[in-house]
Structure 1
Amino acid sequence: MKKLLLIAAALTATTASAASLTQTVQVTANVVNACQVAGVTDGSFTYDAINGITNATNATATFSCNRGTVPTLETPQTGALTFGTSGLDAEYEIDSDGGLNDVGGTDTTFTVEVSADAEQWDVTTSTTGYVANLEIKVTF
Structure 2
Amino acid sequence: MTTETTYNYKVVRQFSIMTVVWGIVGMLVGVIIAAQLLWPALNFDIPWLTYSRLRPLHTNAVIFAFGGSALFATSYYVVQRTCQTRLFAGPLAAFTFWGWTLVIVLAAITLPLGITTSKEYAELEWPIDILITLVWVSYAIV
Q: TM-score, normalised by structure 1?
A: 0.30
More strand by share: 1
Larger radius of gyration: 1
More helix by share: 2
Q: TM-score, normalised by structure 2?
A: 0.30
RCO greater where, 1 or 2, for CA within 8 Å and sep 6 or more? 2
